[in-house]
Chain A
Amino acid sequence: MVPFLVGFLLFMIVPLGYAIYTSLYTTRIIGGTVFTGVSNYTQTLQSSQFWSGVVRVIIYACIQIPVMLVIAFFFACVFDLGVAKFGRTFRTIFFIPFAVPAVVGAVMWSFLLEPQFGPMVHLANAFGFSGTNFFSPSLILPSIIVIVIWEWTGYNMVILYTALKSVPRDVVEAAILDDTPLWRIIVRIKLPLVRPAIVMLIFLNTIGALQLFTEPLILSYFETGSVSVNYTPTLYIFNTAIAADQTNLAAAGAVILGLVIVVISTASLLFRRRRGEFS
């Protein structure tokens, strides 16, 4: 217990306390660092830059999470039922991207989608979409969604697959004896029985979406101007601290984002406890 507490204190509580402490001060060229209370918080909460990032991330989450979970659930069902051939091989292949670090994945995809030389642009041209620019303002968000789906679908699929494996066999057998079509077995029996796993994945992915950082950052290096400095809340915090050198303001932003995530996590816990998934 003690080693854990030491680590927890050093690497969780102390940095957290320091972030909150930093966020209460303001460094000025004239006058140095002075205590300014919640002024950093009000400045962040009133900044349209911060909120436009939050809104963008919410839009992103509303598209990415459902699409990814539908694909993951479909393949998890298919492999669980044994409807596809070579299920074991496909399962392994789908899980490979999880082993690729997010930065490497983002760099790979940036090269593939690169407007001048990228193979995907040539492919789009071959299919008649000439002049496609995956880094243009209208296509940059879909590009990020594709990259994240590529990275995380296999992981979500494996979690759902494990949940599906625990569905009792006799329930499905009873349904077969009643001549239930397969899609109905999936939607009416399998889906409700793995709902706890799906709810958990929705919350995990929402928290992940709020922390979207690596992919837009890497893309911004490939095409200057494609990703604004406040594209996501985390990028806003990063750029405020590093590029604008306003560490105190960035700390306030980080604390606000952290609070949003705490609220979502607590809501998920309460939601799942009320449904009696655990006590």
Chain B
Amino acid sequence: MTELKGRGADSAASQRAAALPGPTSDEGARREGRAAKAARRRAARKLQRLEEQESIIPVELYGLRRGTVTLVTALAFVFAIFTLVPIAWIVINSTKTQANIFETFGFWFARPFSGSTARVRRGSSSGSPCR
């Protein structure tokens, strides 16, 4: 509500400023308008953050036993690991060669990276081709 009122007043002020005669004052008003706009945007963002914080009841009010927050955070962390492990695996193994997917440790990178193997295989004339 206050924010809306502020915006209305500001725009009225800028209109008044634009109506003033003279090129220099017009330039100044435009610059001032830009600064004011940025300030207003910053203020709005701050207000929004404050409102968001206000809408959440502070955790202390629930009268929780000590360690509950830590325990729950730990549980969320465990589930986050469960969620991320397959994605980490596919990111790591997308860099491996076909053979290394099965022969090397699944959760770390292994040389040669599949991009470079392709180059080596194409470059070497000696030795039998892999496939």
Which residues of chain A have a CB within 8 Å of any CB of chain B?
A: 71, 75, 78, 81-87, 90, 93-94, 96-97, 100, 104-105, 108-109, 111-112, 116-119, 122, 150, 153-154, 169, 172-173, 176, 179, 181-182, 185
Stretch of B14-22, B53-61, B118-126 that contacts chain A: B53-61
Q: How many residues of B contact A (CB 8 A)?
A: 32
Closest CB of chain B to A122's CB: distance in Å? 8
Give the total number of A-B pairs whose CB atoms are below 8 A apart. 89
Helix, strand, loop or mixed for chain A's interface? helix
Residues of A within 8 A of B62 (CB): 81, 83, 176, 182, 185
Residues of B within 8 A of A116 (CB): 102
Which of A108, A154, A181 contacts B90, CB < 8 Å?
A108
Residues of B within 8 A of A109 (CB): 86
Chain A residue with the shortest CB-CB distance to B54: A169
Is B80 a contact partner of A93 (Cβ separation < 8 A)? yes
Bound complex: CA A86 to CA B73 (Å) = 8
Chain A residue with the shortest CB-CB distance to B84: A93
8 contacts between A and B (CB under 8 A): A82-B57, A84-B76, A93-B84, A112-B86, A119-B107, A172-B57, A176-B57, A179-B63
Indicate whether A75 sits within 8 Å of B57 (C-beta atoms), given known contacts A84-B69, A108-B90. no
Decide yes or no whether B72 CB sits under 8 A from chain A: yes
Indicate whether A176 sits within 8 Å of B64 (C-beta atoms), given known contacts A94-B83, A108-B86. no
Is A100 a contact partner of B102 (Cβ separation < 8 A)? no
Which of B56, B59, B68, B83 contacts A93, CB < 8 Å?
B83
Closest CB of chain B to A65's CB: distance in Å? 18
